[in-house]
Structure 1
């Protein structure tokens, strides 16, 4: 929200305070300052000029005009000033802003006299962007008639000396998306008088209806319609209104549009204006029918969802409620015939508007306010304010009658002990501070005596503060307005003897181990689109399709919390590939969400004390399971190419090794056995086991999955459930043996379908305590060993903890290891 200092000064006594001081005052009451935009750095003779004549120059690729301007005596001669201009949005008689030679515009651009297009251009006609007061550069700035006489210095007329305060309004402070709310907060912060602009808008009694309206859905709780007949659509918007719109970051368009935008910025109530001649029959607010279509004001045909709330007439939808109006009832800009304007001011359910804006990817100034809750008492006031402005500046006449259908119930009173803010903050506030602060935010306050004989406050929240529903909310308001800086910062004493839990130490060890082996940690987006399961090739009954639906997602297309890390990791991989990264090894350690088979109702625990053990157990039972998983994705080269060689592409073996590395960091030895699980390649997938229990999978993704998700060829991945690995709180320490090892190589011929890991496990079981390590170093298949067979060569390392092994002992242990391999898999020593 951007606002000028002078606009705030209309409603609150700010005195001679600077914009920086006002920014500090906003911060004091919890608002965030995005930026203080200083006054545009414009130096030199900038004046108002009137267009006397225009000569269209021909023979050029773009429109070029030779313009004669009346600038009074500002040029020192009183003669017309001649300039070259490429804009075409002005005519003879218009008032424009002229920068005479010697002017320096923002950015250090100096205006001078120069010969161009065969004429001497003595200055420049400026646009709003060139003057630093807006972003519009489609044409030069045209001032309304009567704004000032030619030759008048434009700085004061344009407000060039005024800075703009830009605030980042948090979602819980929707009432601050208006000057009305910001001025109230500023008045409370500075502890000065504040005048509510609503009090300046008289709302007279109106007999009858302005237009028939029917509410068929509870998502619209109030709808006000007011009609203004005979508005001149070509009437200019007064400059003071244009200036405030420009400062707020909005482009002036036409008087009717500008008035609705201005009232929205001033009071916080979004408005919409219809051409009454194009509205047929009564207005009905209802939900959309599946497949229904609406052409919005941006000339886009939108297919509507049954959850969308619509404004309709006899012809069908004429607006997407709270988001954007329809093109069929649009008031044309620049028309010549008077227009009958039908003004809409309504109150909509925030969640419905938020979903519609996200669903159609159509954020608007109106939806931004509606989804944060708008004061339900504003519609008749805002409609009256807009109607009065259209009468004053557009020559219209307010038609008899006002439609006001629906109603919003009054806020429930909130009871709070009078000294509760003091007890929460640990501060003794001055007598009367609680009542004074609650009154400043608009509450109706009553003091009562409780059953305990102590004083209590009964506060009825104002209509614009729907967030004040309990005593804790009132406490926050008192503490906020009294100043959070008044609350002492006292750090609690840390209890001795405590540190990281075993689970926390394991998680850090796993993350550190992967990072040390060249993996880069990412924090992928946790929400997924259900269509990803089809891309993964999951069966319809696959349990991974069961997800947790988010009621108010950040992205309407990704509204599910998944039980796997792979979708988010693969998105991160694709995003990094699109930015030029080809060799990627990414990992993440995080919680996934898995719904429980039986749904347990969530209790409503108290906030003033710790829940009982029974309630705490019920909360845990109602929450979905959230185990910690470790995920890895790889693409491109695992070992970079260079002068030492061509490099090595990442393969399924690297994904398996990443899983074994996680086990090593967790203090356990994991095993890789043959697996088959989508989205992995059935022939290049390993099931990772801890003991006999499967905890995850690793390998190469299926080629069809790679194609559907537009992944790099041969993309590999790994995911294991870290919580399924038993915690070992023992701190392992390296054991250094003073005795040398004995290394023996064996080559075993087995059937081609015998996994190498299974054969290695057999050797480990047979080698006994003396066998220290088994490592596969060669795989061979060929005619020499027969069809359907392959040779697996292992290095066996033996060592005794208390002596030097003899050759006989090592050979005996080797024979024992081979014997188990022969017994289990029919292995034969290769000669």
Structure 2
């Protein structure tokens, strides 16, 4: 909201010489943040000039310039080149002489152009920062400034030395979308005397006014869309009358474009007191006006010449010849008027509307139609419920004053009654307890009275909020007001004493340990947004009945293309891989640890607890029951070279074993020993190159090479490998406490065995059999060689294992070691058909 200082000074006492920066600094104290300071950027000489003569000179480029002789007072006539053609001989214009500086730091100097030395510039509105008009130069007579003479200072004449402060208005301070509201806040900040422009006498409604019917049959949340409608008739307004220059200037300073007398007056009053108004062409209306919700298939062409399909929730202003049948739609209530009853250049009779509209209704209408207006911005934040008649009266007075000598004012119509401000009960010491400052009852009452509250009571205060503060509904709102007015800088900073911690939970320790282990393994941690579309499930080749296709859809997603929460970390991690590869990073190892959402489909609805109080235990239980399962997952993707080529190495590309090793690393980190088997068909992995990982018979992850079709669909490099782990399963299996193993000081006994098995027998099964058969003396077993050439029979392979034995209390004899080895081999032979290689 922009507030010109000259306008602000009419409502609050501004000390002489007060600058916009000083006003902005004072407003910051009461919570109105400074956005910018406008105006005051023009320096002279900028004077009034009279056109003595001019000569049109056509140019080769098709443009015609004028070589002008301009009288600028005592300095004598000046020769100036001008490209505009809208002025005549003897016109009064604005001349910028050499040495002047225009808005934006544009310096004016004498220069040669079009074969002449131009000794200055004749100015347009745009060049002086007075508006957007650049079609022609300013003719002061058209601006009502014909009592000036050449040489007069144009800076003061046009108000170019006036400053405007712009503040950021937060959603709960809608009353500050007006000079009235900003002046009130400046008064709070400085103690300056405030003069309320809304304190005027308003005529009572009388017979003969324009009939209005409030007929809202579908109020939102039981609140009617319009609880008060004021209509005023003004006739015989001069259709050629223009708004006075001072009003146009104030509108321009506030960031609005002057249009016509009727429109300018309604905008001026809205900026002054904060209540929007709308002017209809009275001759185009059919009484009565009916306020109702939209009917099916209704349309409206708004003032921006856009035909809009109306929604049943849209609140409309309509007319109806009989007051019963649905008549013509005149406007979207509180947002924008319709083109059919627009005030035009021939309009002489007006109907002024000043109504109080429901903020929720207006806000939804604006968002539904993607239509943001100055009126709508104020209504959705809540305007003064008692100001409709005052705003209408101010508008009528200005139309009478500037609309010509024949203006007639009709009877006033005032239908409905808007609700007053809320009544709140609050302990007198409540603000002090909330903020942590020892304020007395008298201090609290003083500040709440200053903002317009009416207060009764002693220890418990009954506070009636002012009509312009719909944001004050509960005690904490009042506590905030006291803190704001007494000064946020007066609230001491006190650091609370941190309670003794209990340390990290087992799950937190596992998450940190896994992330650290993968980083030390050479992978880079990334963070992706957990939002997906169904396209990623199709690219993964998931079957229709795959549980990962059951995703939770967001009510208000950030992107319509990704409205679901991810069901696997891999679904979003591949996007990070694709982005890095597209930027030249082809040798990648990236991982992410994060939650996925796995709805079962039978969760109860969460409900909508009230925000006015803390949810009840039953409501909290219902909310928690509605939360879907959100397990913690870890995923890693590897592409390109796992070992880079160098002088002594040819390098090695990442393959399925690297993904499996990363998954096994996660298992080792949490001190569990998984079972690894081959998974024949689990998207998005390649059949036969995918490992299934289990712990105690429970699946916790997959690792291997992604399917070539998946890689192609996602645009990933060939032979990309990946793994995804369910950390919740590992956290549960790890138990939280790992018992330390006593380190034996006795010698290690080494035994190596080579076992021949069929190709389809997994080496993990053979290793598990060796561990089971060897017994407690076995300290470790490691596969160190796989051989599948002659003399090994075709269809078979030789697996060489290194067995290491040790006893905690003695040195093992050769017989004990051999016995344990033979028992291990026998177990492998029984379970896998392994034959010891001779």
TM over 0.5: yes
Change (3 A) 1:70 1:492: same
Change (3 A) 1:345 1:825: farther
Q: Map 1:25-104; keep pairs closer than 5 Å.
A: 25-33=26-34, 35-37=35-37, 39-49=39-49, 58=58, 65-66=65-66, 68=68, 72-73=72-73, 76-77=75-76, 79=77, 82-85=80-83, 97-104=94-101
Which of 360, 374, 378 aligns to 1:351? It is 360
Contact 2:111 2:119 in 1 (8 A): yes
Q: In 2, distance between residues paired with 1:734 and 1:89? A: 98
| 1:443, distance to aligned residue in structure 2 (A) | 1.4
- 8 Å CA contact 2:659–2:721 kept in 1: the answer is yes
Q: CA deviation at 1:56?
A: 6.3
Question: Could you say what secondary structure the match of 1:400 adopts?
Answer: strand
CA contact (8 A) 1:43 1:104 kept: yes
Partner of 2:429: 419
Cα distance in 2 for partners of 1:139, 1:809 equals 109
For 2:416 and 2:496, locate their aligned partners in 1 and report how far apart those are by CA, in whole Å: 52
Task: Say whether the 8 Å CA contact 1:237–1:254 is kept in structure 2.
Answer: yes
1:469 Cα deviation after fit: 2.0
CA contact (8 A) 2:552 2:597 kept: no
Note closer, same or farther for the CA distance 1:597–1:262 as it changes in structure 2 (3 Å cut): same
User: 8 Å contact 1:582–1:636 — kept in the other structure?
Assistant: no
Partners of 1:734 and 1:398 lie apart in 2 by 102
CA distance in 1, matches of 2:773, 2:167: 72
Tell me if the contact between 1:634 and 1:717 (Cα under 8 Å) persists in the aligned partners. yes
- Give 1:127 shift: 5.2
The verdict on how the C-alpha distance between 1:533 and 1:93 changes in structure 2, with shifts beyond 3 A counting, is: farther
User: Given that residues 690 and 704 in structure 2 are in contact (C-alpha distance below 8 angstroms), is that contact kept between their aligned partners in structure 1?
Assistant: yes
Distance 2:158 2:183 in 1: 23
**1:451 paired residue number:** none
- Once the two structures are superposed, residues 737-791 of structure 1 have per-residue CA deviations (whole angstroms, 9 ceiling, x without a partner) of 9999989898988677x8898888788777877575868999999xx998xx898
Shift in alpha-carbon separation, 1:683–1:153, aligned structure 2, 3 A: farther
**Distance change (3 Å), C-alpha of 1:589 and 1:549:** closer
Q: Which residue is equivalent to 2:394? A: 385
In the alignment, structure 2 segments of 5+ residues that lack a partner are 320-325
Q: Residues 799-818 of structure 1 correspond to what in structure 2 (within 5 A)?
A: none
* Residue pairs, 1:412-491, within 5 angstroms: 412-429=422-439, 432-448=442-458, 455-491=459-495
The whole-number CA distance in structure 2 between the counterparts of 1:431 and 1:299 is 56
Contact 2:46/2:155 (<8 A) preserved: yes
Number of the residue aligned with 2:731:
726
Cα deviation for residue 96 of structure 1 reads 5.3
| Cα contact 2:757–2:835 (8 A) shared by 1 | yes
Once the 2 structures are TM-superposed, how far is the Cα of residue 338 of structure 1 from its aligned partner? Answer: 3.4
- Spell out, residue by residue over 1:454-502, the C-alpha distance to the aligned partner (whole angstroms, 9 max, x if none): x221111122222322222222221221123323222222233544444
2:375 paired residue number: 366
Task: Tell me which moved more, 185-194 or 592-601.
Answer: 592-601
Deviation at 1:12, TM superposition (A): 2.1
Which residue does the alignment assign to 2:271? 265
1:40–1:632: structure 2 CA closer, same or farther, 3 Å change rule?
farther
Aligned-pair CA distance for 1:446: 1.5
**Using the alignment, how far apart are the partners of 2:423 and 2:407 within structure 1?**
41
SS in structure 2 at match of 1:376: coil
For residues 798 and 348 of structure 2, the distance between their equivalents in structure 1, rounded to whole angstroms, comes to 89
**Aligned in 2, Cα 1:703/1:731: closer, same or farther, shift over 3 Å?**
same
The match for 1:198 is 198
Q: Tell me whether 1:562 sits opposite 2:568 in the alignment.
A: no
Is the Cα contact below 8 Å between 2:753 and 2:801 reproduced in 1?
yes
Structure 1 unaligned residues grouped into runs of 5+: 449-454
User: Cα gap change, 1:555/1:617 in structure 2, threshold over 3 Å: closer, same or farther?
Assistant: closer
Report SS of the residue matched to 1:415.
strand
CA deviation after TM superposition for structure 1 residue 146, in Å: 2.2
Relative to structure 1, is the Cα distance of residues 586 and 725 closer, same or farther in structure 2, using a 3 angstrom cutoff? closer
Q: Distance in 1 between matches of 2:328 and 2:832?
A: 75
2:323 maps to which residue? none
Give yes or no for contact 2:421–2:464 (8 Å, CA) kept in 1.
yes
| Contact in 2 for aligned 1:638/1:649 (Cα 8 Å) | yes
Which TM-score applies when normalising by structure 1? 0.76
CA distance in 2, matches of 1:619, 1:703: 45
Aligned CA distance change for structure 1 residues 290 and 800 (closer, same or farther; 3 Å)? farther
Where do 1:262-411 residues align within 5 Å? 262-276=268-282, 283-288=289-294, 293-312=299-318, 319-331=331-343, 335=345, 337-338=346-347, 340-395=349-404, 397=407, 400-411=410-421
Alignment of 1:210-289 (within 5 A): 210=210, 212-216=212-216, 217-219=218-220, 220-222=225-227, 223-229=229-235, 235-276=241-282, 283-288=289-294
SS in 2 for 1:490: coil
Deviation larger for 174-183 or 638-647: 638-647
Question: Relative to 1, partners in 2 of residues 1:368 and 1:96: Cα closer, same or farther, differing over 3 Å?
Answer: farther
Q: Distance in 2 between matches of 1:348 and 1:531?
A: 44
Q: Distance in 1 between matches of 2:49 and 2:342?
A: 34
**Mean CA deviation greater in 799-808 or 216-225:** 799-808
1 CA distance for matches of 2:711 and 2:641?
Answer: 18
Aligned residue for 2:276, secondary structure, equals: coil
Aligned length: 807
CA distance in 2, matches of 1:165, 1:226: 33
* Structure-1 residue corresponding to 2:627: 624
Does structure 2 conserve the Cα–Cα contact (< 8 Å) formed by 1:359 and 1:557? Answer: no
Asked if structure 1 preserves the Cα contact closer than 8 Å seen for 2:526 and 2:592, the reply is: yes
Aligned-residue RMSD, C-alpha? 5.6
Counterpart of 2:121 (choices 121, 124, 140) is: 124
